[in-house]
Structure 1
Amino acid sequence: MKAIAWHGKHDVRVDTVDDPGIVNPRDCIIKVTSTAICGSDLHLYDGYIPTMQSGDILGHEFMGEVVEVGAKSTLKKGQRVVVPFTISCGSCYHCTKQQFSACDNGLPADNQDIAQELYGQPMAGLFGYSHMTGGYAGGQAEYVRVPFSDVGPIVIPDGVEDEKVLFLSDILPTGWMAAENADIEPGDTVAVWGCGPVGLFAIQSAFLLGAERVIAIDHFPNRLKLAAKFGAETINFEESAVYEALMVMTGGIGPDAVIDSVGLEAHGFFVDNVLDQIKVSTFTGTDRAHANRQAIIACRKGGRVSMPAVYGGFVDKWPLGAFMEKGLTLKTGQTHVQRYLKPLLTAILEEKIDTTFLISHRLPLEQGPEGYRMFHDEQNEVTKIVLKPGM
């Protein structure tokens, strides 16, 4: 089969690889009909995530048709399913608490030591996202093996096109959980750093959860326009000083809740960001956390910080004093996708949530490497690329 494979920094290729097969009785095999390039895939593309190996198949946002099932799978051949990016067993301590991204059994035993050493404990497995998260082949391919298929995938009703539901795999529940983690109360003002796919879904979700005002912060004009379509007020950080603008907009109080949808590759010519870039370039640091620092400083006293954004290692210059003195709370983590699939699918079918607005480009799978380049280099014009095997 054809698949998009990682071969190094800024080097992804279309490889011919072996078709996947059933390994465990709870497995199924999916024939991929739609798959997407995620913003967090760009962290792999830029070489920031450790334990990648040449030839690893990428992709964690995908859906398709069930073509083969293991003896203990609850799926049937021919069903259309969306697959969560988190690989979770459904029965461990954390899964029973619906903390699916903290699953104890999502990683193969051989991979658990890597995460144990880096983070203190292993997390759930992830499709196509390094050997630290299991070394699983991803979904930017013609076919993919899905472990724990009796727990993860959600069956899609006939007649619902892929593009309406594809983002249930990751970015829609991630944006929703980001807003949920902000503990939004009626009348709240919520500030969202980053108007990429997760940020835009977080904006939509914040309004649905009762926010009175949402303020979107970015520097790409097209993404700010998309945020404004949902009713968000906007700040272009290349044109305005963000902290000062937020203080004016909130009467000097600050936002009630802040959402960091930027993560470890923050943009902007700021002193702390330049220092972070130097450390990354000289292998003395890992993450550029400017947006997170700025969000903490801007948040009102007693406010809430939600962090759906991906961070990979250690961060210095983090304003711990401000965090403590202001009495802030922080909620973060990989998304517990399985928890949100049914209610969000219902919201899509009832047309309470729009997902298709995000798609700017549709490409055949064979043009995946060009799609990565475009998403990396043309972020004002490219908001989301969907790849179609067999297109």
Structure 2
Amino acid sequence: MRALTYDGPYRVKVRNKPEPKIEHPQDGIVRVTSAAICGSDLHLLHGLIPDTRIGSTFGHEFVGVVEELGPNARGVQKGDRVMLPFQIFCGGCYFCSRGLTGCCDSTNPATDVAAGIYGYSHTMGGYEGGQAEYVRVPFIGVDAEKIPDDVEDLDALPLTDAFSTGYQAAEMCNLQGGETVLVLGCGPVGLFAMWSAWAMGAGRVIAVDHLDYRLEFARNWLGVETLNFRDMDLVTVVKGMTEGRGADATIDAVGCEAAGSPVHRALGIYMKLEAGSPQAINFAIHATRKGGTISLIGAYGPPASGVDIGTYMNKAQTMRTGQANVKRYMPHLLEHVRAGRIHPSHVFTHRVPLDQAPHAYHMFARKRDGCIKVAVTLNGTLH
């Protein structure tokens, strides 16, 4: 089969690889019809995630058709269209039974930090990803969510990660209604967090980025206020917009590749002394009011340094974090999609076949051609 493979930092290529096989009685094989390139994939591309091995296949956002099932797989049938949460989870451990599928104890023997993740290095379980014609899906009967016939592939695809992650980011703000929510990052997760904040009753949503085309996209699609942090002292401006206090809640939808600090970027990307830049976290700490909430949903990999923990403590803020528990949100978000309240496919500014995925990776990483998010089509069809 054809699959995108990692050739080392900043290098990916489409190659022929063996088709996956059933390895466990609860496995399934899915023929991938659409996949997406995620901002978190760029952390792998840039060498920020430990134990990313040459020849591995990226991709943790994908949808497809069930082709084969293990003897103990229940809940789905061959031919079903399905979407898969980006985490792999067993459904029965201490954490899964409490809805914390992102913390599954059974699928990532390398660490007790998080569940296994498709295509996200051996640090996250060493599973092959979905930017390929076929993918092995452990615990398919538990993990897979069927896609209704009236939902297109590209409206379902963001629910596997970006939409669910943005929704959890807003939920972690514990909004009661009328709050000012600051969202750092106008990528797909940030955009879906903005939509979700409005849906949960925010009175004001302010989006921050340093790329004008992404800020314009957020304004036009979601009606938010926007700030380009390159043009201002961000913390001073936010406080000026909020009677000197700061935002009630701030969502860090950027993660470890935050721009704005050449020192931290050098420490992270070039010297490997920290897993990227903590710039977004520090913006959040200083721009959020005392007693406010910081929702940290951007991806970080240990270790990290330079976080202004003293200011955070003294401002009596609450920080909530975690990989999104995607399965929990899928049914609810499908209701929003089917009701026409949101069309998640709107984030896909670019659609390419698998053979063009390496070029798309670099376009996405360099923020060229107005790229917000890339969909990769496979097996010759796009539902």
CA distance in 2, matches of 1:122, 1:303: 26
CA contact (8 A) 2:292 2:318 kept: yes
CA distance in 1, matches of 2:202, 2:176: 7
Indicate the residue corresponding to 2:271 in structure 1: 282
Indicate the residue corresponding to 1:373 in structure 2: 362
348-357 vs 196-205, which deviates more? 348-357
Indicate the residue corresponding to 2:304 in structure 1: 315
CA distance in 2, matches of 1:380, 1:291: 25
CA contact (8 A) 1:220 1:379 kept: no
CA contact (8 A) 2:259 2:265 kept: no
Give yes or no for the alignment of 1:253 onto 2:245: yes
Give yes or no for the alignment of 1:217 onto 2:217: no
Q: Deviations over 1:185-228 (max 9, x none)?
A: 21100000000010000000000011010000001111111211
Indicate the residue corresponding to 2:344 in structure 1: 355
**Offset of residue 20 of structure 1:** 0.7
Aligned to 2:375, the other structure's residue is in SS state strand
Indicate the residue corresponding to 1:77 in structure 2: 78
Q: Deviations over 1:129-167 (max 9, x none)?
A: 000111101000000010011111110112421111111
Indicate the residue corresponding to 2:37 in structure 1: 37
Give yes or no for the alignment of 1:189 onto 2:190: no
**Offset of residue 316 of structure 1:** 2.1
Indicate the residue corresponding to 2:225 in structure 1: 233
Q: Give the letter for the 1:277 counterpart.
A: R
374-383 vs 246-255, which deviates more? 374-383
Match of residue 123, structure 2, among 128, 132, 150: 132
**Offset of residue 244 of structure 1:** 1.2
CA distance in 1, matches of 2:294, 2:158: 24
CA contact (8 A) 2:253 2:296 kept: yes
**Offset of residue 371 of structure 1:** 0.9
Aligned to 1:327, the other structure's residue is in SS state coil
Gaps of 5+ in 2: none
Indicate the residue corresponding to 1:15 in structure 2: 15
Percent sequence identity over aligned pairs: 43
Give yes or no for the alignment of 1:201 onto 2:179: no
Q: Give the letter for the 1:216 counterpart.
A: A
**Offset of residue 241 of structure 1:** 1.6
Give yes or no for the alignment of 1:172 onto 2:160: no
CA distance in 2, matches of 1:127, 1:169: 11
Aligned to 1:324, the other structure's residue is in SS state helix
CA distance in 1, matches of 2:39, 2:5: 17
CA contact (8 A) 2:169 2:193 kept: yes
Indicate the residue corresponding to 2:291 in structure 1: 302
**Offset of residue 379 of structure 1:** 4.7
TM-score, normalisation: structure 1: 0.94
Aligned to 1:72, the other structure's residue is in SS state coil
Q: Deviations over 1:74-123 (max 9, x none)?
A: 2101110001100000000000110101000012xxxx2x42xxxxx242
Indicate the residue corresponding to 2:154 in structure 1: 163
Indicate the residue corresponding to 2:96 in structure 1: 95
CA distance in 2, matches of 1:252, 1:24: 57
Aligned to 1:303, the other structure's residue is in SS state strand
CA distance in 1, matches of 2:36, 2:362: 14
172-181 vs 67-76, which deviates more? 67-76
Aligned to 2:303, the other structure's residue is in SS state coil
Aligned to 1:123, the other structure's residue is in SS state coil
Distance 1:305 1:122, change over 3 A: closer
Aligned to 1:234, the other structure's residue is in SS state strand
Q: Give the letter for the 1:129 counterpart.
A: Y
Q: Give the letter for the 2:142 counterpart.
A: V
Aligned to 2:351, the other structure's residue is in SS state strand
Match of residue 244, structure 1, among 236, 239, 244: 236
CA distance in 2, matches of 1:380, 1:44: 22
CA contact (8 A) 1:364 1:390 kept: no
CA contact (8 A) 2:158 2:345 kept: no
**Offset of residue 44 of structure 1:** 0.6
CA contact (8 A) 2:20 2:135 kept: yes
CA contact (8 A) 1:222 1:380 kept: no
Indicate the residue corresponding to 1:118 in structure 2: none
Indicate the residue corresponding to 1:145 in structure 2: 136
CA distance in 1, matches of 2:115, 2:91: 11
Aligned to 2:24, the other structure's residue is in SS state coil
Gaps of 5+ in 1: 116-120
CA distance in 2, matches of 1:278, 1:378: 20
Distance 1:379 1:332, change over 3 A: farther
CA distance in 1, matches of 2:295, 2:123: 24
CA distance in 1, matches of 2:44, 2:35: 17
